[in-house]
Amino acid sequence: MLAAGSRPAAADLMQSSNFRLDPNVAASFGGAGSSTSYSLSATGGEPIVGAGASQSFMLGGGYNAQLPQSIQLSVLPSGTVADWSLDTGSGTAAYDNSLTGNDGVLQGAPTWATGIVNQGVLLNGSSQYLSTSISGAAPQIFTIEIWFKSTTGNGGRLMGFGSTATGASGTLDRHLYLDNAGHIIWGVSSSGQQTVATAATYNDGSWHHVAASLGAGGLLLNVDGVRQGTNLGITTAANYTGYWRAGYDNLSGWPSAPTSSYLAATIDEARVYNRQLTDQEINNDYLAGFASLQNAFTLPDIVPGTSQTYLADAIVRTEAPGYDLYMNKTAPLTHTDTTTTIPDISSSISSPAAWSEGTTKGVGFTLTAGTQLSGAWGTNPNYMYAAIPSTSELYHTRTGENGGVAEVTTIQYRADTLSTQKQGLYKTTIIYSATAKP
């Protein structure tokens, strides 16, 4: 979705292929490549691409190296450093779809449940939580997002950072938590404990989206796409090494600390970005989740008469000898009046063309980084652009064994409209898919 003008934009679908191996039949053949009875269910809306010895897929539920022809594709906004979609459906793994690969472990065996998008995880409020396995420096510029649904009166930690992967951390901050009444509180350590909190309560049994960030813009808290807390004077937090956690960690001594540090709630779609998202981006993520769109994100508002770009990363994990990436849009970028559109540029994937600043008008894309990129896409700064196709079309192919190492292809979208372009909201859906090359 692209939007023109200053009004908030509706959510779009930037969706990867999303298939899962049925856990009820997986053990019957152990992932061997010779079986033709792989049971695959489409959870993202795309058709099944292949099955059996030559093409077998496990998408959206985490990469499985046992399947030599399996492939996982995630398409995320650039700057995403963790994406736990919580869609595995069984076991205790919480796979990270980002390039970081910081997979989590579901401690205490929580229950898989219906999420805001596909599946989520139900935490019991006494012993269950998600913890990550890769330690890193506590970030100074970042945004965290999570969906939750709860009726608890004991509060609990939604998400945050701590010095240990399991148990109660000795050093911790970057706390996003509920107090007993259901207010959402966001806090960091910066010359003492600094927090912002919501006036409303959110333990009402409905799904809510929370985004909390820190950076040059201050300490910011958004709930359900709307800014609810701001402290512009807090731009840094404590320095230490630790882990991302969701559902539990020590909250002793923090303002309005709840009765329980464990959260009784269903959680879903947790993300970490290495930048502060804008209010518009957060609102779009909220609208995308509310519409149950997988791996959804939006491009910034189009400003008529201005050329703008936006980056997304297509992340592939596979042990197949190669892969193909496809994309298509379901309709032109169309105004809410249902008739006004923003046109595509004239060039195509088979024949991309240079972007002439101020002359080229419309919407297109190019590839700026990746493995074995076709020379037709050009190089920095002279990239070649193509229109987003209306039917699924190959835009990148990779040959040669990569040993299962995650690879990223960066897609740059670009839009330039006439100054007379009608103001308002414009939207479309873009669908991505991948096939393994035997």
Domain boundaries, the chain: 3-23+298-437, 80-274
Please give the mean pLDDT across all residues of the chain: 83
CA atoms within 13 A on the CB side of 325: 30
| Cα–Cα dist 19/35, whole Å | 17
Q: Which pLDDT value is given to residue 201?
A: 98
Q: Which pLDDT value is given to residue 37?
A: 39
Name the DSSP class of 170. S
**Domain topology for 80-274:** Jelly Rolls (2.60.120)
Spatial contact of 324 and 435, defined as CB atoms under 8 Å apart: yes
Q: Distance between terminal CA atoms of the chain?
A: 34
Average of per-residue pLDDT across 178-207: 97
Strands 142-149 and 264-273: antiparallel
pLDDT of 277 > 60? The answer is yes
Q: Which pLDDT value is given to residue 72?
A: 80
pLDDT band at 248 (very low <50, low <70, confident <90, very high): very high
pLDDT of 302 > 80? The answer is no
Q: Which pLDDT value is given to residue 10?
A: 23
Q: Which pLDDT value is given to residue 256?
A: 97
Q: Which pLDDT value is given to residue 308?
A: 86
Q: Is the backbone peptide bond immediately before 381 cis, with ω within 30 degrees of 0?
A: yes
Sign of the torsion formed by the C-alpha atoms of 95, 99, 101 and 102: negative
**Side chain identity at residue 129, one-letter code:** Y
pLDDT band at 299 (very low <50, low <70, confident <90, very high): low
Give residue-wise pLDDT tens across range 104-115: 999 999 999 999
| Cα–Cα dist 324/10, whole Å | 30
| Cα–Cα dist 426/203, whole Å | 34
pLDDT of 358 > 90? The answer is no
pLDDT of 169 > 80? The answer is yes
Q: Which pLDDT value is given to residue 42?
A: 38
Residue whose entry in the numeric block shows the structure tokens 């990569």: 402
Long-range contacts of 41-45 (CB under 8 A, 24+ apart): 42/18, 43/18, 43/19, 43/87, 43/118, 43/294, 44/15, 44/16, 44/17, 44/18, 44/19, 44/294, 45/15, 45/18, 45/431
pLDDT of 38 > 50? The answer is no
pLDDT band at 52 (very low <50, low <70, confident <90, very high): very low
Q: Which pLDDT value is given to residue 21?
A: 34
Average of per-residue pLDDT across 291-302: 68
Structure tokens at 90: 């069984």
Contacts of 32 (CB under 8 A, 6+ apart): none
* 3-state SS class at 384: strand
How many other CB atoms are there within 10 angstroms of residue 358's CB atom?
9
Three-class secondary structure assignment of 248-286: CCCCCCCCCCCCCCCCEEEEEEEEEECCCCCHHHHHHHH
pLDDT of 411 > 90? The answer is yes
Strands (E), 125-255: 129-132, 136-137, 142-149, 156-162, 172-178, 184-189, 193-197, 208-215, 218-223, 226-231, 241-246
Range with the lowest mean pLDDT among 59-63, 144-148, 332-336?
59-63
Spatial contact of 369 and 341, defined as CB atoms under 8 Å apart: no
Average of per-residue pLDDT across 125-138: 96
Structure tokens at 35: 């079986």
> Which of residues 75 and 165 earns the better pLDDT score?
165
Range with the lowest mean pLDDT among 233-237, 247-251, 314-318?
314-318
Give residue-wise pLDDT tens across range 367-410: 999 999 999 999 999 999 999 999 999 999 999 877 778 899 99
CA dihedral 36, 41, 45, 49 (to 10 degrees): -10
Q: Which pLDDT value is given to residue 12?
A: 27
pLDDT band at 291 (very low <50, low <70, confident <90, very high): confident
pLDDT of 16 > 90? The answer is no
